[in-house]
């Protein structure tokens, strides 16, 4: 499978254009003085790029996808676990808004009742679940991005790139949520039901004894409702924000930016994307939190009971959490790519064939 995807990856517009030019031995200028043909020339910038960018694998290769998946494990597993205290308070605000009346009040009540250790409840299912989700989310996104861009063709992939980002991220998240659902269900039980269980080892067997496998997967449909719009926004908004930052904000081309400067752009774009992610996914997040706490309830019943105002409880905490989370995830993911020397293509450029059709070139 990976070999066929690798073959497709070389021809799609999301590969690095300058590296493709170097690989094909094309010259920089479009015309040259008449004379005997000589060896292909490289422009200085292309030659510099070929020296600087010594990648450990090809874009779209099996190693590339595996290491992208590893980057997803590290970025999602660590960041979600680090934010367990905030996530715990947010869940309790959604489930019992009368008791936990705000983010600061929620922390205060939790500390009084459970102490400092209580803020770490649910860390194990959070780490395991979101590590598995990160593997599928980032790894499969890269796979589907290559596959869909090849299906569209070079020109359409550029013109419809936002739709491509949305489709690739939605496809990846579909599988990521199946991997996440069991641990998410256990986490919510531990965090929102005092006395039910304090650890994953206690919660999982108890849940299985009470409801069977249904206990772990009854929240998968609401998870799709929450996570698929979230991930579509996360990837599409990030990709287009990076493109806009390099075009309108960063005072020099991406090729002239250092790795550290590129990672700063990644972080800023990630935070902007995270704010929008939090807003579009919050109503479904409220339903998931209540649904995993209660036995025998359906998503439609919970949604009807919460009402319009109820599904937006805890939004401020979620914006802080998801904005920071998304920025850190993209920063860590991109840093993993830098560490393993993976291809990190610049924002896509209009293909030459499309420029000719639109009359943008002589």
- Report the CATH number at residue 223: 1.50.40.10
What is the model's pTM? 0.76
CA dist., res. 234 & res. 165, Å (int) = 10
Please give the tally of structural domains in the chain: 1
Assigned domain for 14 exists? no
Which of the four pLDDT bands, split at 50, 70 and 90, describes residue 357? confident
Assigned domain for 49 exists? no
Q: How would DSSP label each residue in 131-199?
A: HHHHHHHHHHHHHHHHHHHHHH-HHHHHHTHHHHHHHHHHHHHHHHHHHHHHHHHHHHHHHHSTTT-SS
- E strands along 5-134, which residues? none
Residues 244 and 347: beta-carbon distance below 8 Å: no
Tens digits of residue pLDDT in 293-327: 666 677 788 888 888 788 888 888 888 888 888 99
Assigned domain for 7 exists? no
Query: Structural domain of residue 110, as residue ranges?
Result: 57-343
- Res 27 pLDDT > 70: no
Assigned domain for 194 exists? yes
- Res 64 pLDDT > 50: yes
- Reduce the DSSP state of residue 165 to 3 states and report it: helix
Assigned domain for 44 exists? no
Assigned domain for 129 exists? yes
> What is the structure's pLDDT at 234?
93
Assigned domain for 1 exists? no
Assigned domain for 354 exists? no
CA dist., res. 215 & res. 182, Å (int) = 8
- Report in angstroms the alpha-carbon separations of 8 from 1, 12, 30, 117, 337: 11, 7, 27, 50, 21
Tens digits of residue pLDDT in 119-165: 898 999 999 999 999 999 999 999 999 999 999 999 999 999 999 99
CA dist., res. 80 & res. 67, Å (int) = 20
CA dist., res. 121 & res. 203, Å (int) = 12
């Amino acid at each position: 499978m990976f070999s066929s995807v690798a073959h497709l990856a070389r021809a799609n517009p999301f590969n690095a254009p300058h590296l493709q030019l170097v690989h094909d031995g094309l010259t920089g200028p479009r015309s040259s003085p008449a004379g005997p043909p000589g060896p292909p020339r490289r422009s200085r910038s292309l030659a510099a790029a070929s020296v600087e960018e010594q990648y450990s694998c090809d874009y779209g290769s099996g190693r590339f996808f595996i290491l992208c998946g590893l980057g997803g494990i590290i970025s999602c597993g660590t960041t979600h676990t680090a934010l367990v205290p905030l996530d715990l308070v947010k869940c309790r605000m959604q489930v019992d808004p009368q008791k936990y009346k705000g983010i600061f009040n929620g922390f205060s009540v939790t500390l009084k009742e459970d102490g400092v250790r209580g803020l770490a409840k649910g860390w194990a299912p959070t780490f395991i679940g979101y590590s598995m989700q990160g593997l599928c989310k980032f790894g499969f996104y890269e796979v589907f991005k290559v596959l869909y861009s090849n299906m569209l063709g070079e020109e359409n992939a550029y013109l419809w790139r936002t739709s491509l980002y949305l489709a690739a991220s939605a496809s990846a998240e579909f599988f990521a949520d199946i991997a996440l659902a069991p641990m998410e269900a256990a986490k919510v039980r531990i965090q929102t039901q005092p006395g039910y269980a304090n650890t994953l080892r206690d919660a999982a067997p108890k849940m299985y004894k009470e409801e069977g496998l249904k206990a772990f997967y009854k929240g998968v449909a609401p998870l799709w409702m929450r996570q698929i719009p979230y991930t579509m926004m996360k990837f599409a908004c990030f990709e287009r924000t990076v493109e806009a930052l390099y075009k309108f904000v960063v005072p020099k081309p991406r090729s002239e930016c250092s790795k550290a400067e590129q990672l700063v752009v990644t972080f800023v774009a990630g935070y902007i994307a995270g704010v929008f992610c939090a807003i579009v996914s919050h109503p479904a997040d409220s339903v998931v939190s209540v649904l995993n706490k209660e036995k025998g309830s359906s998503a439609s019943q919970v949604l009807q009971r919460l009402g319009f105002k109820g599904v937006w409880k805890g939004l401020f905490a979620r914006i802080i959490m998801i904005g920071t989370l998304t920025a850190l995830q993209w920063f860590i993911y991109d840093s993993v790519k830098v560490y393993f020397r993976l291809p990190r293509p610049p924002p896509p450029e209009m293909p030459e064939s499309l420029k000719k059709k639109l009359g943008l070139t002589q």
